[in-house]
Structure 1
Protein backbone atom coordinates (compact mmCIF):
# COMPACT_ATOMS: atom_id res chain seq x y z
CA UNK A 1 0.00 0.00 0.00
CA UNK A 2 1.32 3.47 -0.90
CA UNK A 3 2.87 5.61 1.83
CA UNK A 4 0.64 8.55 2.80
CA UNK A 5 2.42 9.91 5.89
CA UNK A 6 6.05 10.35 6.95
CA UNK A 7 6.81 10.72 10.67
CA UNK A 8 10.30 12.12 11.03
CA UNK A 9 12.40 12.51 14.18
CA UNK A 10 14.55 15.66 14.35
CA UNK A 11 17.89 15.38 16.15
CA UNK A 12 20.11 12.78 14.56
CA UNK A 13 17.53 12.09 11.85
CA UNK A 14 16.17 15.11 9.97
CA UNK A 15 18.92 17.38 11.28
CA UNK A 16 22.58 17.07 10.42
CA UNK A 17 25.27 17.29 13.08
CA UNK A 18 25.28 21.06 12.53
CA UNK A 19 21.53 21.20 13.34
CA UNK A 20 20.47 22.06 9.80
CA UNK A 21 18.42 20.23 7.16
CA UNK A 22 20.46 19.37 4.09
CA UNK A 23 19.35 20.70 0.72
CA UNK A 24 18.97 17.12 -0.57
CA UNK A 25 16.65 16.18 2.27
CA UNK A 26 14.53 19.32 1.82
CA UNK A 27 14.20 18.55 -1.90
CA UNK A 28 13.17 14.92 -1.32
CA UNK A 29 10.61 15.83 1.33
CA UNK A 30 9.16 18.50 -0.92
CA UNK A 31 8.82 15.93 -3.71
CA UNK A 32 7.01 13.66 -1.26
CA UNK A 33 4.64 16.49 -0.33
CA UNK A 34 4.01 17.15 -4.02
CA UNK A 35 2.91 13.50 -4.25
CA UNK A 36 0.33 14.20 -1.53
CA UNK A 37 2.32 12.61 1.31
CA UNK A 38 1.90 14.26 4.72
CA UNK A 39 5.19 15.14 6.46
CA UNK A 40 4.96 15.20 10.26
CA UNK A 41 7.85 16.03 12.58
CA UNK A 42 7.90 13.75 15.65
CA UNK A 43 10.14 15.12 18.37
CA UNK A 44 10.76 15.66 22.05
CA UNK A 45 10.71 19.42 21.46
CA UNK A 46 7.84 21.88 21.92
CA UNK A 47 6.22 23.56 18.93
CA UNK A 48 8.28 26.74 19.05
CA UNK A 49 11.41 24.58 19.18
CA UNK A 50 10.74 23.19 15.69
CA UNK A 51 9.61 26.38 13.93
CA UNK A 52 12.93 27.00 12.10
CA UNK A 53 12.64 23.53 10.58
CA UNK A 54 8.96 23.63 9.67
CA UNK A 55 9.71 26.94 7.94
CA UNK A 56 12.64 25.41 6.06
CA UNK A 57 10.34 22.62 4.86
CA UNK A 58 7.49 24.99 3.95
CA UNK A 59 5.17 23.44 6.54
CA UNK A 60 2.60 25.79 8.06
CA UNK A 61 -1.08 26.20 8.90
CA UNK A 62 -3.91 24.21 10.38
CA UNK A 63 -3.51 21.31 7.92
CA UNK A 64 0.08 20.51 8.93
CA UNK A 65 0.90 18.73 12.18
CA UNK A 66 3.63 17.87 14.66
CA UNK A 67 4.07 15.26 17.38
CA UNK A 68 5.73 17.01 20.34
CA UNK A 69 7.23 16.17 23.75
CA UNK A 70 7.81 12.54 22.63
CA UNK A 71 4.11 12.09 21.90
CA UNK A 72 2.65 13.85 24.95
CA UNK A 73 1.17 16.55 22.69
CA UNK A 74 0.01 16.75 19.07
CA UNK A 75 -0.65 20.17 17.55
CA UNK A 76 -1.32 21.64 14.17
CA UNK A 77 1.19 24.25 13.08
CA UNK A 78 -1.22 27.06 13.98
CA UNK A 79 -0.71 25.91 17.57
CA UNK A 80 -4.08 24.23 18.16
CA UNK A 81 -3.82 21.13 20.38
CA UNK A 82 -5.30 17.96 18.90
CA UNK A 83 -4.62 15.80 21.95
CA UNK A 84 -2.36 15.78 25.00
CA UNK A 85 -1.37 13.51 27.89
CA UNK A 86 -0.14 15.64 30.76
CA UNK A 87 1.45 14.80 34.11
CA UNK A 88 0.28 16.47 37.32
CA UNK A 89 1.60 17.67 40.68
CA UNK A 90 1.64 14.15 42.11
CA UNK A 91 3.92 13.12 39.24
CA UNK A 92 6.01 16.24 39.92
CA UNK A 93 6.63 15.02 43.48
CA UNK A 94 7.65 11.60 42.16
CA UNK A 95 10.13 13.09 39.69
CA UNK A 96 11.70 15.23 42.42
CA UNK A 97 12.06 12.19 44.67
CA UNK A 98 13.84 10.21 41.94
CA UNK A 99 16.30 13.03 41.27
CA UNK A 100 17.95 12.21 44.61
CA UNK A 101 19.26 8.93 43.19
CA UNK A 102 22.04 10.62 41.19
CA UNK A 103 23.74 13.95 40.55
CA UNK A 104 21.51 15.12 37.70
CA UNK A 105 19.48 18.15 36.72
CA UNK A 106 15.70 17.84 36.53
CA UNK A 107 13.43 19.96 34.36
CA UNK A 108 9.70 20.02 33.72
CA UNK A 109 8.64 20.83 30.17
CA UNK A 110 5.44 22.64 29.22
CA UNK A 111 4.34 24.16 25.90
CA UNK A 112 5.35 27.56 27.31
CA UNK A 113 8.78 26.93 28.93
CA UNK A 114 11.09 24.65 30.92
CA UNK A 115 10.95 24.79 34.72
CA UNK A 116 13.65 23.64 37.13
CA UNK A 117 14.55 23.99 40.79
CA UNK A 118 18.27 23.58 40.06
CA UNK A 119 20.39 26.71 40.32
CA UNK A 120 23.49 24.98 38.99
CA UNK A 121 22.61 23.97 35.45
CA UNK A 122 24.61 21.47 33.47
CA UNK A 123 26.00 22.49 30.11
CA UNK A 124 23.73 19.82 28.64
CA UNK A 125 20.60 21.45 30.07
CA UNK A 126 21.68 24.90 28.91
CA UNK A 127 22.38 23.62 25.39
CA UNK A 128 19.09 21.70 25.32
CA UNK A 129 17.20 24.85 26.28
CA UNK A 130 18.96 26.89 23.61
CA UNK A 131 18.52 24.32 20.83
CA UNK A 132 14.83 23.90 21.56
CA UNK A 133 14.34 27.67 22.02
CA UNK A 134 13.04 27.13 25.53
CA UNK A 135 13.19 29.62 28.36
CA UNK A 136 14.44 27.94 31.54
CA UNK A 137 12.65 29.26 34.62
CA UNK A 138 14.19 28.52 38.01
CA UNK A 139 11.59 28.24 40.77
CA UNK A 140 11.42 27.10 44.36
CA UNK A 141 9.49 23.93 45.08
CA UNK A 142 6.69 25.85 46.78
CA UNK A 143 6.20 27.93 43.61
CA UNK A 144 4.86 24.85 41.81
CA UNK A 145 1.14 25.09 42.61
CA UNK A 146 -1.16 22.11 43.07
CA UNK A 147 -2.67 22.61 39.61
CA UNK A 148 0.74 22.50 37.89
CA UNK A 149 0.84 20.18 34.86
CA UNK A 150 3.65 19.35 32.46
CA UNK A 151 4.14 17.39 29.27
CA UNK A 152 7.31 15.56 30.28
CA UNK A 153 10.23 15.64 32.68
CA UNK A 154 13.89 15.41 31.79
CA UNK A 155 16.87 14.22 33.82
CA UNK A 156 20.21 15.23 32.38
CA UNK A 157 23.85 15.70 33.26
CA UNK A 158 27.15 16.43 31.56
CA UNK A 159 28.48 13.16 32.97
CA UNK A 160 26.73 10.19 31.29
CA UNK A 161 27.82 8.01 34.21
CA UNK A 162 25.49 9.94 36.51
CA UNK A 163 22.59 9.39 34.11
CA UNK A 164 23.51 5.71 33.94
CA UNK A 165 23.57 5.65 37.75
CA UNK A 166 20.05 7.09 37.85
CA UNK A 167 18.82 4.69 35.15
CA UNK A 168 20.07 1.68 37.09
CA UNK A 169 18.59 2.92 40.37
CA UNK A 170 15.11 3.76 39.14
CA UNK A 171 12.69 1.21 40.64
CA UNK A 172 10.75 -1.21 38.46
CA UNK A 173 7.43 0.40 39.40
CA UNK A 174 8.67 3.69 37.92
CA UNK A 175 9.11 2.07 34.50
CA UNK A 176 5.67 0.49 34.86
CA UNK A 177 4.06 3.83 35.78
CA UNK A 178 5.63 6.11 33.17
CA UNK A 179 6.96 6.13 29.62
CA UNK A 180 10.70 6.31 30.38
CA UNK A 181 13.24 6.63 27.56
CA UNK A 182 17.01 7.06 27.44
CA UNK A 183 16.96 9.49 24.55
CA UNK A 184 20.71 10.26 24.71
CA UNK A 185 23.52 8.99 26.96
CA UNK A 186 23.18 12.21 28.99
CA UNK A 187 19.35 12.38 29.01
CA UNK A 188 16.42 10.42 30.44
CA UNK A 189 12.93 11.63 29.50
CA UNK A 190 9.75 10.71 31.37
CA UNK A 191 6.15 11.12 30.21
CA UNK A 192 2.71 9.65 30.69
CA UNK A 193 2.27 5.97 29.83
CA UNK A 194 -0.24 7.16 27.23
CA UNK A 195 2.39 9.42 25.68
CA UNK A 196 4.79 7.96 23.15
CA UNK A 197 5.82 8.89 19.64
CA UNK A 198 4.46 5.59 18.35
CA UNK A 199 1.01 5.97 19.90
CA UNK A 200 0.78 9.63 18.90
CA UNK A 201 1.78 8.97 15.29
CA UNK A 202 -0.76 6.15 15.13
CA UNK A 203 -3.54 8.35 16.56
CA UNK A 204 -2.73 11.24 14.23
CA UNK A 205 -2.63 8.91 11.22
CA UNK A 206 -6.05 7.52 12.13
CA UNK A 207 -7.45 11.04 12.46
CA UNK A 208 -6.15 11.80 8.97
CA UNK A 209 -7.69 8.62 7.58
CA UNK A 210 -4.45 6.67 7.09
CA UNK A 211 -3.80 3.07 8.11
CA UNK A 212 -0.62 2.04 9.88
CA UNK A 213 0.70 0.43 6.71
CA UNK A 214 0.53 3.85 5.00
CA UNK A 215 2.93 5.39 7.56
CA UNK A 216 6.72 5.46 7.22
CA UNK A 217 8.80 6.51 10.22
CA UNK A 218 12.42 7.65 10.52
CA UNK A 219 14.46 7.62 13.75
CA UNK A 220 17.78 6.99 15.43
CA UNK A 221 17.56 7.00 19.25
CA UNK A 222 15.83 5.42 22.23
CA UNK A 223 12.99 7.93 22.26
CA UNK A 224 12.08 6.69 18.76
CA UNK A 225 11.71 3.08 19.91
CA UNK A 226 7.94 3.31 20.34
CA UNK A 227 7.56 4.16 16.65
CA UNK A 228 9.64 1.12 15.72
CA UNK A 229 7.44 -1.06 17.93
CA UNK A 230 4.32 -0.29 15.88
CA UNK A 231 3.71 -3.42 13.83
CA UNK A 232 2.27 -1.88 10.66
CA UNK A 233 4.58 1.10 10.19
CA UNK A 234 7.30 1.01 7.55
CA UNK A 235 10.38 1.59 9.71
CA UNK A 236 13.57 3.30 8.52
CA UNK A 237 16.60 3.64 10.80
CA UNK A 238 19.31 6.17 10.13
CA UNK A 239 22.85 4.92 9.50
CA UNK A 240 23.90 6.69 12.70
CA UNK A 241 21.12 5.06 14.76
CA UNK A 242 21.80 3.01 17.86
CA UNK A 243 21.95 -0.75 17.24
CA UNK A 244 18.61 -1.35 18.98
CA UNK A 245 16.81 0.87 16.47
CA UNK A 246 18.65 -0.63 13.50
CA UNK A 247 17.66 -4.12 14.64
CA UNK A 248 13.97 -3.11 14.71
CA UNK A 249 14.01 -1.41 11.30
CA UNK A 250 12.75 -2.66 7.97
CA UNK A 251 15.46 -0.66 6.24
CA UNK A 252 18.66 1.06 7.37
CA UNK A 253 19.54 4.13 5.32
CA UNK A 254 22.59 6.39 5.27
CA UNK A 255 23.44 8.76 8.11
CA UNK A 256 21.84 12.10 8.94
CA UNK A 257 24.96 13.84 7.57
CA UNK A 258 24.74 11.96 4.25
CA UNK A 259 21.13 12.59 3.16
CA UNK A 260 19.83 9.39 4.75
CA UNK A 261 16.18 10.43 4.57
CA UNK A 262 16.43 11.49 0.93
CA UNK A 263 18.15 8.25 -0.07
CA UNK A 264 15.51 6.14 1.66
CA UNK A 265 12.66 8.09 0.08
CA UNK A 266 14.12 7.74 -3.41
CA UNK A 267 14.62 4.01 -2.95
CA UNK A 268 11.37 3.17 -1.17
CA UNK A 269 8.77 5.85 -1.95
CA UNK A 270 9.47 8.33 -4.76
Structure 2
Protein backbone atom coordinates (compact mmCIF):
# COMPACT_ATOMS: atom_id res chain seq x y z
CA UNK A 1 0.00 0.00 0.00
CA UNK A 2 1.22 3.53 -0.80
CA UNK A 3 1.96 5.76 2.17
CA UNK A 4 -0.37 8.79 2.29
CA UNK A 5 0.38 10.12 5.78
CA UNK A 6 3.66 10.20 7.71
CA UNK A 7 3.44 10.94 11.46
CA UNK A 8 6.69 11.99 13.10
CA UNK A 9 7.54 12.45 16.76
CA UNK A 10 9.81 15.43 17.51
CA UNK A 11 12.34 14.98 20.32
CA UNK A 12 14.64 12.03 19.71
CA UNK A 13 13.05 11.37 16.32
CA UNK A 14 12.72 14.34 13.97
CA UNK A 15 15.18 16.41 15.99
CA UNK A 16 18.82 15.45 16.46
CA UNK A 17 20.76 15.92 19.68
CA UNK A 18 21.17 19.59 18.81
CA UNK A 19 17.37 19.96 18.66
CA UNK A 20 17.48 20.60 14.91
CA UNK A 21 16.22 18.85 11.78
CA UNK A 22 19.19 17.58 9.78
CA UNK A 23 19.43 18.84 6.20
CA UNK A 24 19.04 15.32 4.78
CA UNK A 25 15.94 14.58 6.85
CA UNK A 26 14.48 17.95 5.89
CA UNK A 27 14.99 17.29 2.18
CA UNK A 28 13.35 13.86 2.33
CA UNK A 29 10.31 15.12 4.26
CA UNK A 30 9.92 17.97 1.78
CA UNK A 31 10.18 15.48 -1.09
CA UNK A 32 7.48 13.30 0.47
CA UNK A 33 5.25 16.33 0.98
CA UNK A 34 5.86 17.32 -2.63
CA UNK A 35 4.42 13.96 -3.65
CA UNK A 36 1.17 14.79 -1.85
CA UNK A 37 1.88 12.85 1.35
CA UNK A 38 0.57 14.45 4.54
CA UNK A 39 3.34 15.15 7.06
CA UNK A 40 1.96 15.31 10.61
CA UNK A 41 4.19 16.17 13.55
CA UNK A 42 2.99 14.23 16.60
CA UNK A 43 4.36 15.56 19.87
CA UNK A 44 3.84 15.95 23.56
CA UNK A 45 4.48 19.65 23.00
CA UNK A 46 1.77 22.28 22.47
CA UNK A 47 1.32 23.72 18.99
CA UNK A 48 3.66 26.63 19.79
CA UNK A 49 6.50 24.13 20.22
CA UNK A 50 5.72 22.37 16.94
CA UNK A 51 5.02 25.21 14.51
CA UNK A 52 8.66 26.32 13.96
CA UNK A 53 9.52 22.84 12.66
CA UNK A 54 6.38 22.67 10.52
CA UNK A 55 7.36 26.00 8.98
CA UNK A 56 10.89 24.73 8.35
CA UNK A 57 9.48 21.76 6.45
CA UNK A 58 7.12 24.08 4.55
CA UNK A 59 3.86 23.12 6.26
CA UNK A 60 1.28 25.78 7.13
CA UNK A 61 -2.39 26.68 7.02
CA UNK A 62 -5.71 24.99 7.57
CA UNK A 63 -4.95 21.99 5.34
CA UNK A 64 -1.97 20.81 7.41
CA UNK A 65 -2.21 19.30 10.89
CA UNK A 66 -0.38 18.57 14.13
CA UNK A 67 -1.06 16.09 16.92
CA UNK A 68 -0.08 17.84 20.16
CA UNK A 69 -0.23 17.27 23.93
CA UNK A 70 0.42 13.54 23.24
CA UNK A 71 -2.79 13.30 21.24
CA UNK A 72 -5.11 15.18 23.59
CA UNK A 73 -5.44 17.87 20.90
CA UNK A 74 -5.33 17.87 17.10
CA UNK A 75 -5.02 21.29 15.49
CA UNK A 76 -4.60 22.57 11.99
CA UNK A 77 -1.54 24.76 11.54
CA UNK A 78 -3.67 27.91 11.55
CA UNK A 79 -4.39 27.05 15.20
CA UNK A 80 -7.95 25.78 14.89
CA UNK A 81 -8.76 22.91 17.26
CA UNK A 82 -10.19 19.90 15.43
CA UNK A 83 -10.24 17.40 18.29
CA UNK A 84 -9.67 17.87 22.00
CA UNK A 85 -9.80 15.79 25.18
CA UNK A 86 -9.66 17.72 28.43
CA UNK A 87 -9.16 17.26 32.15
CA UNK A 88 -11.02 19.29 34.78
CA UNK A 89 -10.78 20.62 38.32
CA UNK A 90 -11.40 17.21 39.90
CA UNK A 91 -8.44 15.85 37.94
CA UNK A 92 -6.42 18.89 39.02
CA UNK A 93 -7.06 18.01 42.68
CA UNK A 94 -6.23 14.34 42.09
CA UNK A 95 -2.90 15.20 40.48
CA UNK A 96 -1.96 17.45 43.37
CA UNK A 97 -2.43 14.42 45.62
CA UNK A 98 -0.18 12.36 43.34
CA UNK A 99 2.47 15.07 43.55
CA UNK A 100 2.74 14.53 47.32
CA UNK A 101 4.07 11.01 46.70
CA UNK A 102 7.53 12.43 45.84
CA UNK A 103 9.43 15.70 45.46
CA UNK A 104 8.60 16.71 41.89
CA UNK A 105 7.27 19.71 40.00
CA UNK A 106 3.80 19.51 38.49
CA UNK A 107 2.45 21.74 35.75
CA UNK A 108 -0.78 21.83 33.76
CA UNK A 109 -0.77 22.51 30.03
CA UNK A 110 -3.48 24.30 28.05
CA UNK A 111 -3.52 25.54 24.47
CA UNK A 112 -2.75 29.02 25.82
CA UNK A 113 -0.05 28.51 28.47
CA UNK A 114 1.36 26.36 31.31
CA UNK A 115 0.21 26.68 34.94
CA UNK A 116 2.00 25.53 38.07
CA UNK A 117 1.52 26.00 41.80
CA UNK A 118 5.22 25.36 42.44
CA UNK A 119 7.55 28.23 43.24
CA UNK A 120 10.79 26.26 43.39
CA UNK A 121 11.05 25.13 39.78
CA UNK A 122 13.33 22.43 38.45
CA UNK A 123 15.48 23.14 35.40
CA UNK A 124 13.52 20.65 33.29
CA UNK A 125 10.27 22.58 33.72
CA UNK A 126 11.92 25.87 32.76
CA UNK A 127 13.49 24.22 29.71
CA UNK A 128 10.12 22.76 28.65
CA UNK A 129 8.46 26.15 28.78
CA UNK A 130 11.31 27.82 26.89
CA UNK A 131 11.57 25.11 24.21
CA UNK A 132 7.86 25.37 23.43
CA UNK A 133 7.79 29.19 23.49
CA UNK A 134 5.16 28.97 26.19
CA UNK A 135 4.29 31.30 29.02
CA UNK A 136 4.63 29.62 32.42
CA UNK A 137 2.22 31.07 34.99
CA UNK A 138 2.93 30.45 38.68
CA UNK A 139 -0.30 30.65 40.66
CA UNK A 140 -1.65 30.02 44.15
CA UNK A 141 -4.13 27.18 44.52
CA UNK A 142 -6.84 29.71 45.38
CA UNK A 143 -6.27 31.38 42.00
CA UNK A 144 -7.35 28.27 40.07
CA UNK A 145 -11.09 28.50 39.26
CA UNK A 146 -13.45 25.57 39.73
CA UNK A 147 -14.10 25.51 35.98
CA UNK A 148 -10.38 25.06 35.20
CA UNK A 149 -9.71 22.74 32.27
CA UNK A 150 -6.40 21.57 30.80
CA UNK A 151 -5.13 19.17 28.17
CA UNK A 152 -2.14 17.53 29.83
CA UNK A 153 -0.27 17.43 33.13
CA UNK A 154 3.45 16.79 33.52
CA UNK A 155 5.52 15.76 36.53
CA UNK A 156 9.21 16.66 36.23
CA UNK A 157 12.41 16.70 38.24
CA UNK A 158 16.04 17.50 37.56
CA UNK A 159 18.16 15.01 35.61
CA UNK A 160 20.18 13.79 38.60
CA UNK A 161 17.11 13.20 40.79
CA UNK A 162 15.46 9.86 41.53
CA UNK A 163 12.11 11.44 42.40
CA UNK A 164 10.31 10.66 39.13
CA UNK A 165 11.25 7.01 39.60
CA UNK A 166 9.88 7.17 43.13
CA UNK A 167 6.62 8.73 41.91
CA UNK A 168 6.25 6.17 39.10
CA UNK A 169 6.62 3.31 41.57
CA UNK A 170 4.16 4.94 43.98
CA UNK A 171 1.28 5.68 41.61
CA UNK A 172 -1.74 3.51 42.54
CA UNK A 173 -2.99 0.92 40.06
CA UNK A 174 -6.30 2.75 39.67
CA UNK A 175 -4.46 5.80 38.29
CA UNK A 176 -3.45 3.83 35.20
CA UNK A 177 -7.09 2.80 34.72
CA UNK A 178 -8.28 6.40 35.05
CA UNK A 179 -5.67 8.26 32.99
CA UNK A 180 -3.35 7.73 30.06
CA UNK A 181 0.06 7.90 31.80
CA UNK A 182 3.47 7.55 30.18
CA UNK A 183 7.00 7.95 31.44
CA UNK A 184 8.37 9.76 28.41
CA UNK A 185 11.82 10.43 29.89
CA UNK A 186 13.74 9.35 32.98
CA UNK A 187 12.79 12.66 34.62
CA UNK A 188 9.31 13.16 33.16
CA UNK A 189 5.85 11.60 33.57
CA UNK A 190 3.07 12.83 31.30
CA UNK A 191 -0.64 12.37 32.03
CA UNK A 192 -3.66 12.78 29.76
CA UNK A 193 -7.34 11.89 29.82
CA UNK A 194 -7.91 8.19 29.33
CA UNK A 195 -7.87 7.37 25.63
CA UNK A 196 -5.99 10.53 24.71
CA UNK A 197 -2.93 9.28 22.85
CA UNK A 198 -0.94 9.93 19.70
CA UNK A 199 -2.14 6.64 18.25
CA UNK A 200 -5.84 7.35 18.79
CA UNK A 201 -5.51 10.93 17.53
CA UNK A 202 -3.81 9.75 14.34
CA UNK A 203 -6.49 7.11 13.74
CA UNK A 204 -9.21 9.75 14.02
CA UNK A 205 -7.31 12.25 11.87
CA UNK A 206 -6.74 9.62 9.18
CA UNK A 207 -10.45 8.77 9.22
CA UNK A 208 -11.37 12.44 8.81
CA UNK A 209 -9.00 12.76 5.88
CA UNK A 210 -10.30 9.49 4.39
CA UNK A 211 -6.87 7.88 4.60
CA UNK A 212 -6.74 4.17 5.36
CA UNK A 213 -4.76 3.32 8.50
CA UNK A 214 -2.64 0.96 6.38
CA UNK A 215 -1.50 4.04 4.44
CA UNK A 216 -0.08 5.69 7.57
CA UNK A 217 3.62 5.51 8.51
CA UNK A 218 4.78 6.49 12.03
CA UNK A 219 8.19 7.30 13.49
CA UNK A 220 8.98 7.36 17.22
CA UNK A 221 11.42 6.59 20.00
CA UNK A 222 9.93 6.98 23.50
CA UNK A 223 7.13 5.88 25.80
CA UNK A 224 4.67 8.49 24.60
CA UNK A 225 4.98 7.00 21.09
CA UNK A 226 3.96 3.45 22.07
CA UNK A 227 0.29 4.08 21.27
CA UNK A 228 1.26 4.69 17.61
CA UNK A 229 3.20 1.43 17.59
CA UNK A 230 0.32 -0.56 19.05
CA UNK A 231 -1.75 -0.02 15.91
CA UNK A 232 -1.37 -3.15 13.74
CA UNK A 233 -2.35 -1.24 10.58
CA UNK A 234 0.27 1.51 10.73
CA UNK A 235 3.69 1.07 9.10
CA UNK A 236 5.85 1.48 12.22
CA UNK A 237 9.45 2.74 12.07
CA UNK A 238 11.50 2.81 15.27
CA UNK A 239 14.50 5.08 15.55
CA UNK A 240 17.83 3.43 16.30
CA UNK A 241 17.88 5.31 19.61
CA UNK A 242 14.36 4.13 20.55
CA UNK A 243 13.55 2.35 23.78
CA UNK A 244 13.22 -1.43 23.52
CA UNK A 245 9.41 -1.36 23.84
CA UNK A 246 9.23 0.69 20.64
CA UNK A 247 11.72 -1.47 18.75
CA UNK A 248 9.84 -4.65 19.65
CA UNK A 249 6.63 -3.22 18.19
CA UNK A 250 8.23 -1.82 15.03
CA UNK A 251 8.09 -3.16 11.49
CA UNK A 252 11.53 -1.73 10.88
CA UNK A 253 14.32 -0.17 12.97
CA UNK A 254 16.13 2.63 11.18
CA UNK A 255 19.24 4.59 12.14
CA UNK A 256 19.22 6.97 15.10
CA UNK A 257 18.16 10.61 15.17
CA UNK A 258 21.75 11.83 14.80
CA UNK A 259 22.32 9.79 11.62
CA UNK A 260 19.33 10.64 9.42
CA UNK A 261 17.17 7.73 10.54
CA UNK A 262 13.97 9.23 9.11
CA UNK A 263 15.60 10.03 5.76
CA UNK A 264 16.98 6.51 5.41
CA UNK A 265 13.61 4.88 6.12
CA UNK A 266 11.75 7.20 3.74
CA UNK A 267 14.20 6.45 0.95
CA UNK A 268 13.80 2.72 1.60
CA UNK A 269 9.99 2.60 1.79
CA UNK A 270 8.48 5.78 0.32
CA UNK A 271 10.66 7.80 -2.07
TM-score between both structures, scaled by the size of structure 2: 0.99
Deviates more, 1:126-135 or 1:80-89: 126-135
Corresponding position of 1:62: 62
Q: Following TM superposition, by how much is the alpha carbon of 1:160 offset from its aligned partner in structure 2, in angstroms?
A: 4.4
| DSSP 3-state at the match of 1:256 | coil
Corresponding position of 1:15: 15
Corresponding position of 1:109: 109
- Where in structure 2 are the equivalents of 1:236-251 lying within 5 Å? 236-251=237-252
Q: Distance in 2 between matches of 1:33 and 1:59?
A: 9
Corresponding position of 1:36: 36
| DSSP 3-state at the match of 2:39 | strand
Distance 1:7 1:122, change over 3 A: same
State yes or no: 1:222 paired with 2:226: no
Q: Distance in 2 between matches of 1:197 and 1:99?
A: 25
- Where in structure 2 are the equivalents of 1:79-98 lying within 5 Å? 79-98=79-98
Q: Distance in 1 between matches of 2:161 and 2:153?
A: 17
User: Could you list the per-position Cα deviations for residues 4-26 of structure 1 after superposition, in whole angstroms to 9, with x for gaps in the alignment?
Assistant: 00000000000011111011011
Q: Distance in 1 between matches of 2:69 and 2:99?
A: 20
State yes or no: 1:166 paired with 2:173: no
Q: Distance in 2 between matches of 1:182 and 1:45?
A: 15
Corresponding position of 2:141: 141
Counting matched residue pairs gives: 270
Corresponding position of 1:130: 130
Q: Distance in 2 between matches of 1:189 and 1:149?
A: 16
Corresponding position of 2:72: 72
Q: Distance in 1 between matches of 2:259 and 2:31?
A: 18
| DSSP 3-state at the match of 1:263 | helix
| DSSP 3-state at the match of 1:10 | coil
Q: Following superposition, which runs of at least 4 residues in structure 1 exceed 2 angstroms of deviation?
A: none
Corresponding position of 2:190: 189
Gaps of 5+ in 2: none
Q: Is the 8 A contact 1:50 1:132 kept in 2?
A: yes
- Where in structure 2 are the equivalents of 1:198-237 lying within 5 Å? 198-237=199-238
Q: Distance in 2 between matches of 1:241 and 1:160?
A: 22
| DSSP 3-state at the match of 1:39 | strand
Q: Following TM superposition, by how much is the alpha carbon of 1:231 offset from its aligned partner in structure 2, in angstroms?
A: 1.2
Q: Distance in 2 between matches of 1:160 and 1:2?
A: 46
Q: Is the 8 A contact 1:41 1:66 kept in 2?
A: yes
Corresponding position of 2:258: 257
Q: Following TM superposition, by how much is the alpha carbon of 1:194 offset from its aligned partner in structure 2, in angstroms?
A: 2.3
Q: Following TM superposition, by how much is the alpha carbon of 1:36 offset from its aligned partner in structure 2, in angstroms?
A: 1.0
TM-score between both structures, scaled by the size of structure 1: 0.99
